[in-house]
Amino acid sequence: MRSTTDPGLHLLTAAAVRERCELVYRAAERGETPHFRLVSMRLDDAVRRVAGVTRRRYPDLDVPFHSRWRHFSTGGVDRAAQVAPGMDPDETARARIDLAVVSVLLDAGAGPQWGFYDADTGQTLRRSEGLAVASLGAMKAGLFSVDLGNPWRADAGALARLSAERLAAAFQHRPGNELLGVEARAALLRRVGEACAAAPVLFGAPPRLGNLFDYWGSRGAEISAPEILRLLLTAFGPIWPGRASIGGVLLGDCGRHSVVPGDGIVPFHKLSQWLAYSLVEPLEAAGLRVTDIDGLTGLAEYRNGGLFIDCGVIEPRDPALLGRPLDALSEPVVEWRALTIALLDRLASRMREHLGKTSHEFPLACVLEGGSWAAGREIARERRPDGAPPLTLLTDGTVF
């Protein structure tokens, strides 16, 4: 068994995300980052904006955690109640974990053309909300199940055979309504199926994503959010081909930056942390207690990161950077994402002061939900007619 002090395994932790992003932030404070500069005096403007959005969305400041379940309830519809109707609590927990894993891993940028028509409400939903509702509909139709009589499953066998054509049909992808990266998304889910089948200790037999509930439940009544993340990163490491590795450890959502000494690697684990946040509610509803939610970090994605650029907290050294397409693994994007993680911690601290809340009363997950993500979307719409992020990102639908 590999030591937990193994440098590769350490990078599969939320603590490493904070540590490495903080290195980039400290370099920015010294004026040593090559692509962006910090304008720290403007952080208070971002705090006021996020606080205003939070009070508008949650006037009583009773803010739930940031998770995929907020998107399932878009339009005021309690779609979580539609999952596995009539099942016992344990099976409902498995089904909700099945859905959360698949839906979060499909939650990368949909592209500006795509929308999903929801027949139940007559609404066309876009971006993250559209992807959430589309994924729930796909599960309801049995797309991820090997048992046609029980659609509310995400089985290794069904995922491993999932074609891009079937996924495209479920997500209403067609000319004029193109979903970004359909092929890459389907390939990602096939690799999820393969990883699930390869780990029977975690996913049981027959292998199913939702059997993680049984694995965690067998280990006690309590689990920490960072432990959830570490397991997700270890179990699903093989689904991210072509990414960095150290000593055979697949590192997933990481980039490299020249100001980070040694290997230069900066981990983010955006989708995996988003998934960890999204597993809290189904686990707790089934009786497991999840601790140390603040052990996770903010999410290094374009709404949170866009907020800081649009508020002027971070400025490109070369304004032309905002006008040219950037690869998701390029150093400017890595720098932007790292600064975003570090700034979200600082934003959260100032938000609590502004709202008169403690970290226990208002953890980072509430700041994100209240919050920074919604404020990033709002200011993007103010600055650009299509609501696009301030940076133009080249992605295959598996990062952003």
- List per-block mean pLDDT (blocks of 10 residues) for the chain, which spans 400 residues: 66 96 98 98 97 97 94 88 93 97 90 91 92 96 95 98 98 96 94 97 97 94 96 91 78 94 95 95 95 96 96 97 93 98 98 95 96 96 92 72
Instruction: Note whether 48 and 72 are same-domain residues.
Output: no
Specify if 348 maps to a domain.
yes
70-74 contacts, C-beta under 8 A, 24 or more apart: 70/369, 71/107, 71/128, 71/129, 71/131, 71/132, 71/133, 72/103, 72/132, 72/133, 72/136, 74/125, 74/129, 74/132, 74/133
Specify if 396 maps to a domain.
yes
Specify if 250 maps to a domain.
yes
Residue at which a domain ends, from 219, 235, 252 = 219
Residue at which a domain ends, from 219, 237, 254 = 219
Instruction: Note whether 184 and 39 are same-domain residues.
Output: no
Q: How many helices (H) and strands (E) does the chain have?
A: 17, 12
What's the pLDDT at 1? 41
Instruction: Note whether 35 and 84 are same-domain residues.
Output: no
Instruction: Note whether 303 and 236 are same-domain residues.
Output: yes
SS3 208: strand
What's the pLDDT at 398? 61
Specify if 280 maps to a domain.
no
Cα→Cα distances 337→208, 275, 312, 360, Å: 33, 18, 15, 26
Instruction: Note whether 101 and 56 are same-domain residues.
Output: no
Other Cβ atoms closer than 10 A to 353: 9
What are the tokens at 220?
């006690």
What's the pLDDT at 108? 80
Specify if 365 maps to a domain.
yes
Specify if 283 maps to a domain.
no
Q: Are 108 and 399 in contact (CB under 8 A)?
A: yes
Residue at which a domain ends, from 202, 219, 236 = 219
Instruction: Note whether 373 and 316 are same-domain residues.
Output: yes
Q: Are 300 and 254 in contact (CB under 8 A)?
A: no
Instruction: Note whether 107 and 13 are same-domain residues.
Output: no
Instruction: Note whether 323 and 185 are same-domain residues.
Output: no
Other Cβ atoms closer than 10 A to 317: 12
Instruction: Note whether 59 and 159 are same-domain residues.
Output: no
Instruction: Note whether 181 and 297 are same-domain residues.
Output: no
Instruction: Note whether 93 and 191 are same-domain residues.
Output: yes
> What distance in Å separates the CA atoms of residue 283 and residue 300, rounded to the nearest whole number?
24
Specify if 282 maps to a domain.
no
Which range marks the domain in which residue 103 is found? 67-219
SS3 165: helix
What's the pLDDT at 112? 83
Q: Domain tally for the chain?
A: 2
Answering whether pTM is above 0.85, one says: yes
Instruction: Note whether 252 and 386 are same-domain residues.
Output: yes
> What distance in Å separates the CA atoms of residue 150 and residue 152, rounded to the nearest whole number?
6
Specify if 287 maps to a domain.
no
